[in-house]
């Protein structure tokens, strides 16, 4: 649910001291090995992108995370919430690397009115051995605490990998009662020791109410075996007894069985009642389920507290949920469906397939805007679906539909790519980070599908589409995404001039001149008449200290007929060659020629006055300065124009894609969507 969050309130709250820390840095012991504990260190300040994501109301993302929040201290003035965040190693770490991996954790708690009342900002660094351990165990378990005032709070959790656009967002609700009313927190089920690589902050956790054994921490999504007995804790006030019925529900809401519960002991700590119980897992098929624990007695079972669980097959040794993903279950038969040839990806959700096709049915070749609006509504709704895999399910459904459309009409993919590239531009302009990140991944998949479907002939148009996507990413500040998209473009088509131009510009901006120079050399070879490419190559070589062909490149750029800003910058750089070499007379000669060619350019006039003054020609310098005051300063400077992102080759690529779409791809998409909705042969 999206609520307005006044940014001033958010900024003030985030600057408050983060409230966290565990008792002792306990090292969970794994069978036959000692698990490493990673330090979760506090961070200062909240980056703009992180704040935007936290305040967006979105959930999901590329990184799969699972969150549990339980009150461990309750007082009249407020309480403490225990925060447990599980991070799936595969989606967070990606491919193995020899570099350290930096994790960033950001959390805030808000009241129902949207006021931030608690926050946590922390980070951890994993060296390669620790990252390898996290992969082997399934992921990372992050622990922290939040101090909050009495009442209900919504806790939003963001996990990011530094330097990446990937993130995971989750939210949950917790309560610290203001009075003595009955309440039941989420039941606490222990995770086996060594199931995760654990990240702990400094200092005491203050989780005495949970009475955790050394190396044991709460599970966010417990992995259970049918028929097994597990120990758990009920935390709250007026706790339910063993007579209540704990239901097991499938993801579609149907009941799968009941959990037996017996009481072991009762205790009090932190203003809370704590009841140790034993839960008996029913004999249900492997899969994802929810345990629903009633908050009241036998006659008061309407209000429930839910705990997501994974029921693993007999013989499964994994204790962390990313390692114990079960096959899909058949609701009708209540048994696991066999997977042909081993484990397989779950089928794309049927309701998302239907909704995606419905949105695409609004596409019209002469007015793609209607379809874009319908697609935006569909994707935003789909990304709000509950569960950590909402983005994965949406992408699976969209790519499955795209594959069907390609089988019907291969050319339809070009129009589909253009449609989603336009949608990425819309998301970027609206700063809608989660839908934009989804579209980035989807377009990557669509480009790959285009190449598979159209063969060699599909590589160039797929590359043009990715170049257009990268260009729109650059213009909204998503530089890391743009760089990756440019590199994908060059993998598809190593001679794509839009990617050569765009990637070189991004590298030049970040001081990576050597790689930029190689790309610009290729671009000049492909586009020898491009004055902007020649100018950027000359300046890049100058910054590298390489004078090879610099003067010749600049001389080509000052020729009459070219854009004035290119000519002006080239004249300035030619003059600087003389100034840097101590040849002021040569520089003055260049600038006399330059100001005659471009009499309205103020920067050239200023530079000429400077050189004349340095040369001892003070009278000429004063006269040049007087003439300078009569020049208009309304126009943007040539240097400002140079600082803008180049667009010549980008515009060429996007125009080529648009021509391909209008020449038949748009009509192919209309036909393919109509056939798919009618349900004809694929």
- Least confident interval from 34-38, 288-292, 393-397: 34-38
Regarding whether 177 and 304 lie in a shared domain, the answer is yes
Domain holding 537, by residue range, is 511-557
pLDDT at residue 6, rounded to an integer: 33
Regarding whether 71 and 59 lie in a shared domain, the answer is yes
- CATH code of the domain containing 103: 2.60.40.10
What is the band of 631 on the pLDDT scale with cuts at 50, 70, 90?
A: low
237-258 CB burial, b ≥16 within 10 A, e <16:
bebbeeebebbbbbeeeeebbe
Both tokens of residue 300? 């008061």
Least confident of 22-31, 572-581, 612-621: 22-31
Among residues 166, 197, 218, 198, the alpha carbon closest in space to that of 60 is found at: 166
Taking alpha carbons only, the member of 18, 149, 181, 143 closest to residue 73 is: 149
Of 260, 281, 313, the domain-final residue: 313
Six-digit token pair at 223? 């992995």
Q: Look at residues 294, 313, 332 and tell me which one is the last residue of a structural domain.
A: 313
The predicted model scores a pTM of 0.50
In the structure, what pLDDT confidence band is assigned to residue 12 with cuts at 50, 70 and 90? very low
Q: Would you place residue 450 in the very low, low, confident or very high pLDDT band (cuts 50, 70, 90)?
A: confident
What's the rounded Cα separation, in Å, for the pair 524 and 548? 14
pLDDT at 62 over 50: yes
Rounded average pLDDT over 27-51: 59
Q: What is the pLDDT of residues 531-555, one digit of tens each?
A: 999 999 999 998 888 887 898 999 9
pLDDT tens per residue across span 482-537: 888 888 888 778 889 999 999 999 999 888 899 999 999 999 999 999 999 999 99
Q: What is the pLDDT of residues 156-210, one digit of tens each?
A: 999 998 877 678 888 888 888 877 788 888 888 888 877 888 998 887 777 877 8
- Is pLDDT above 50 for 337? no
Coil vs helix vs strand at 671: helix
Structure token digits, residue 312: 């693993």
Convert the pLDDT of each residue in 80-138 to its tens digit.
899 999 999 888 888 788 889 999 999 988 888 777 788 888 999 999 888 888 888 88
Spatial separation of the C-alpha atoms in residues 216 and 26, rounded to whole Å: 9
pLDDT given for residue 27 in this prediction: 33
What is the length of the chain?
Answer: 682
441 found inside a domain: yes
pLDDT of residue 634: 59
pLDDT of residue 375: 92
pLDDT score of 11 more than 60: no
- Is 232 part of any domain? yes
Q: Please check whether residues 519 and 656 belong to one and the same domain.
A: no
Residues 6+ apart with CB under 8 A from 108: 10, 13, 14, 54, 116, 118, 119, 120, 155, 156
Q: What is the pLDDT of residue 297?
A: 46
Lowest mean pLDDT among 150-154, 218-222, 385-389: 385-389
236 with 91, same domain: the answer is yes
Q: Are residues 236 and 371 in the same domain?
A: no
Same domain for 640 and 663? no
In the block, tokens 């259970």 appear at 224
Mean pLDDT of the chain: 80
- Give the pLDDT score at 498: 92
The pLDDT of residue 213 is above 80: no
Q: Please check whether residues 171 and 295 belong to one and the same domain.
A: yes
Is position 500 within any domain? no
Contact predicate 417/469, CB 8 Å: no
Tell me the mean pLDDT in the region 636-656.
87
Is residue 115 in a domain? Answer: yes
Query: Which percentage of the chain shows pLDDT scores above 90?
Result: 16
Q: For position 619, which CATH number holds?
A: 1.25.40.10
- Confirm whether 528 is domain-assigned: yes
CA atoms of 452 and 458, how far apart (whole Å): 8
Give the residue-averaged pLDDT of 383-398: 80
Do 202 and 54 fall into the same domain?
Answer: yes
pLDDT digit string (tens) for 472-483?
888 877 888 888
pLDDT at 95: 79
**Domain check: are 525 and 452 in the same one?**
no
Q: Are residues 303 and 180 in the same domain?
A: yes
pLDDT at 338 over 60: no
Which residue is listed with tokens 């989804």? Answer: 438
Angle at 551 between CA 547 and CA 552, to 5 degrees: 115
Are 299 and 367 contained in the same domain? no
What are the residues facing 33 on neighbouring strands? 30
Q: Select the more confidently predicted residue: 1 or 53.
A: 53
Alpha carbon 260 to chain centroid distance?
A: 41
Q: Where does the pLDDT of residue 31 fall: very low under 50, low under 70, confident under 90, or very high at 90 and above?
A: very low
Q: Flag the least confident range among 322-336, 601-615, 634-648.
A: 322-336
Per-residue pLDDT band for 334 (boundaries 50, 70, 90) equals: very low
CA distance 448 to 204: 50
Residue 355 has pLDDT above 80, yes or no: yes
In this structure, the number of other CB atoms found within 10 A of the CB of residue 504 comes to 27
Residues 125-168 pLDDT 10s: 999 888 888 888 888 999 999 999 998 888 999 999 887 767 88
Q: CB–CB of 249/309 below 8 Å?
A: no
Q: Is residue 270 part of a domain?
A: yes
pLDDT value, residue 56 = 62
CA-wise closest residue to 416 among 459, 445, 392: 445
Give the list of residues 6+ apart from residue 672 with CB closer than 8 angstroms, or none: 404, 405, 406, 408, 409, 412
- C-alpha neighbours within 13 Å on the C-beta side of residue 239: 21
In a domain, 89, yes or no: yes
Domain count, the chain: 4
SS3 68: strand
What is the structure's pLDDT at 357?
93
Quick one: 577 and 677 in the same domain? Answer: no
Per-residue tokens: 42: 């506090």
Does the pLDDT value for residue 669 go beyond 50?
Answer: yes
Distance (Å, whole) CA 547 – CA 538: 8
Domain for residue 651, yes or no? yes
**pLDDT score recorded for residue 193:** 78
Closest by CA to 288, choosing from 241, 333, 222, 227, is: 222
Task: Report the DSSP beta bridge partners of residue 305.
Answer: 293
Percentage, residues of the chain above pLDDT 70: 84
């Amino acid at each position: 649910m999206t609520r307005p969050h006044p940014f001033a309130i958010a900024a003030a709250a985030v600057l408050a001291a983060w409230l966290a820390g565990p008792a002792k840095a306990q090292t969970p012991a794994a069978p036959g090995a000692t698990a490493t504990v990673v330090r979760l260190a506090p961070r200062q300040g909240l980056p703009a992108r992180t704040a935007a994501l936290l305040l967006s109301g979105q959930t999901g993302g590329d990184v799969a995370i699972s969150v549990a929040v339980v009150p461990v201290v309750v007082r009249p003035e407020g309480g403490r919430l225990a925060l447990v965040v599980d991070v799936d190693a595969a989606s967070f770490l990606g491919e193995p690397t020899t570099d350290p991996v930096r994790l960033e954790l950001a959390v805030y708690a808000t009241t129902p009115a949207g006021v931030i009342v608690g926050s946590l900002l922390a980070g951890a660094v994993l060296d390669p051995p620790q990252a390898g351990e996290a992969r082997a165990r399934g992921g990372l378990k992050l622990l922290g605490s939040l101090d909050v005032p009495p009442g209900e709070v919504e806790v939003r959790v963001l996990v990011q990998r530094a330097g990446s656009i990937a993130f995971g967002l989750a939210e949950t609700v917790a309560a610290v009662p203001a009075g003595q009313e009955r309440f039941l927190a989420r039941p606490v089920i222990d995770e086996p020791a060594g199931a995760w690589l654990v990240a702990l902050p400094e200092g005491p956790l203050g989780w005495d109410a949970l009475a955790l054994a050394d190396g044991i921490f709460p599970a966010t999504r417990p992995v259970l075996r049918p028929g097994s007995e597990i120990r758990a804790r009920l935390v709250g006030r007026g706790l339910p007894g063993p007579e209540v019925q704990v239901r097991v529900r499938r993801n579609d809401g149907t009941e799968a069985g009941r959990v037996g519960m017996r009481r072991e002991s009762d205790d009090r700590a932190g203003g809370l009642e704590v009841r140790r119980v034993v839960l008996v897992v029913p004999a249900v098929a492997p899969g994802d389920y929810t345990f629903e624990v009633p908050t009241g007695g036998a006659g008061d079972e309407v209000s429930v507290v839910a705990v997501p669980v994974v029921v693993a097959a007999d013989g499964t040794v994994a204790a962390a949920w990313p390692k114990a993903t079960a096959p899909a279950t058949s609701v009708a038969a209540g048994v696991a469906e066999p997977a042909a040839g081993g484990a397989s990806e779950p089928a794309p959700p049927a309701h998302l397939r239907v909704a995606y096709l419905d949105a695409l049915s609004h596409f019209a070749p002469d007015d793609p805007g209607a379809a874009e609006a319908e697609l935006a509504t569909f994707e935003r709704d789909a990304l709000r679906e509950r569960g950590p895999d909402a983005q994965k399910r949406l992408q699976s459904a969209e790519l499955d539909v795209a594959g069907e459309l390609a089988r019907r009409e291969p050319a339809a993919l070009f129009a589909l790519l253009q449609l989603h590239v336009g949608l990425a531009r819309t998301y970027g302009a609206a700063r809608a980070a989660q839908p934009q990140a989804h579209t980035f991944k989807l377009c990557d998949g669509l480009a790959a599908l285009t190449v598979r479907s159209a063969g060699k002939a599909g590589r160039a148009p797929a590359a043009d589409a990715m170049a257009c996507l990268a260009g729109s990413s650059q213009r909204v500040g998503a530089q890391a995404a743009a760089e990756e998209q440019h590199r994908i473009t060059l993998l598809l088509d190593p001679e794509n001039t839009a990617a050569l131009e765009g990637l070189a510009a991004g590298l030049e901006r970040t001081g990576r001149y050597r790689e930029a120079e190689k790309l610009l050399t290729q671009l000049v070879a492909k586009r020898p008449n491009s004055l902007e490419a020649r100018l950027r190559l000359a300046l890049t070589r100058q910054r590298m200290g390489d004078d090879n062909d610099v003067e010749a490149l600049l001389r080509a750029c000052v020729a009459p007929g070219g854009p004035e800003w290119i000519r002006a910058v080239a004249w300035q750089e030619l003059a600087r060659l003389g100034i840097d070499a101590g040849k002021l007379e040569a520089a003055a000669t260049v600038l006399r020629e330059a100001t005659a060619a471009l009499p309205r350019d103020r920067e050239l006039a200023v530079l000429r006055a400077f050189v004349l003054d340095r040369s001892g020609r003070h009278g000429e310098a004063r006269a040049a300065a007087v003439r300078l005051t009569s020049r208009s300063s309304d126009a943007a400077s040539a240097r400002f124009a140079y600082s803008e992102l180049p667009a010549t080759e980008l515009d060429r690529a996007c125009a080529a894609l648009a021509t391909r779409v209008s020449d038949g791809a748009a009509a192919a998409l209309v036909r393919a969507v109509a056939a798919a909705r009618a349900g004809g042969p694929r």
